[in-house]
Amino acid sequence: MTPAASIPLIDLRNQDEHIVPVLAQALCDIGFVLVAGHGVPETLVGELRHQTVKYFDRPLPDKLADRIEPENYRGYIPLGFFSPNAAHDHPGTTADQYEGYKLHLEVEPNDAIRAQCDLYGPNQWPPDGDALKAAVLAFWHACNAAGERLLRLIARIMDVDEAAFLSLFEYPLTNMTLLHYPPVAADSKRFGIHPHKDTDALTLLFPDPVGGLWLRPRDSKEWLEVSAPPGTMVVNIGDLLELWSGGLFVSTPHKVVNTSGRERYSFPFFMVPRHDVVVAPLITCQNGYHRDAVPVGAVSREVWRTNWLSNKSSNSGFDLGTLTD
């Protein structure tokens, strides 16, 4: 039996001085932390899960009417539609076994930010999707508040100005995905989502009780399944926060494999800075750590663009997160 990953737990209802040492150790050692007292009501999580299941139960032709397009990275993602980023560089890679619905920060069509960066805009909502929209926006607001609390704590760990750090997330490229993973055979080599590291700053997730989320700790070749107590949120850092910390924090590889025999659903919330932020170390780098600065808008565009197999990776040098298992 594969052991479960040992992930530290923090409770955001505690005082900061009790949280910071545990959070710092978690982000430095494994890049994941379990969060209780996060302030996201169980009713919100339950309603979004209900609406997610209901959406994916729609007839396929109805879902395809909401289909995502290269010009607008919002809407329905068909099952097996995407291969991992830069699949051209990994011949024989199979498509991820999920269907999804992509959502971004809701920005009005006439908002001035759209003239600065075409990645912003209104979401695509399905017809008669008012209940889904309400559930998403309520969940988004609660997750964003929890995420901002965590970012303040992280700024304190790095000893950088909290207000200045949070200002980098004004008009963010934050996004989320509703996900449905059909079960695969126990002996299948197909991933729900391939091994990767997140390319965001912070990911917030309420895992499905059926399990299937796996991580690979630093300096280890063994994959360990994530186990989270009911009601806790799983949080992991992405490559941008690792870079900001100069390698102090670790962005940890993870994957999804659903061999439970049951349908699996989740809705990860990806916190990403504003489009014009250039991420570079805010503190002294760890010995041997080096990575070029990352322009957030450019890397976001490249990640999304190369999800289409017909779009070859550019010579940008961006690490798009895909790993070999």
pLDDT along the chain (325 residues), means of 10: 75 97 97 97 97 98 93 91 56 80 95 93 94 98 98 98 98 97 87 91 95 91 92 96 96 94 96 97 95 92 76 58 46
Give the pLDDT confidence score for residue 87 in this predicted structure. 44
Report helix, strand or coil for 34: strand
Cβ 286 vs Cβ 248: under 8 Å: yes
> Which one-letter amino acid corresponds to residue 88?
H
The pLDDT value recorded for residue 189 is 78
Which domains does the chain show, CATH number per domain? Answer: 39-208+260-305 (2.60.120.330)
pTM score, two decimals? 0.93
Q: HSE of 171 in the Cβ direction (CA atoms, 13 Å)?
A: 18
Beta-bridge mates of residue 225? 4, 214
**Cβ neighbours, 10 Å, residue 188:** 13
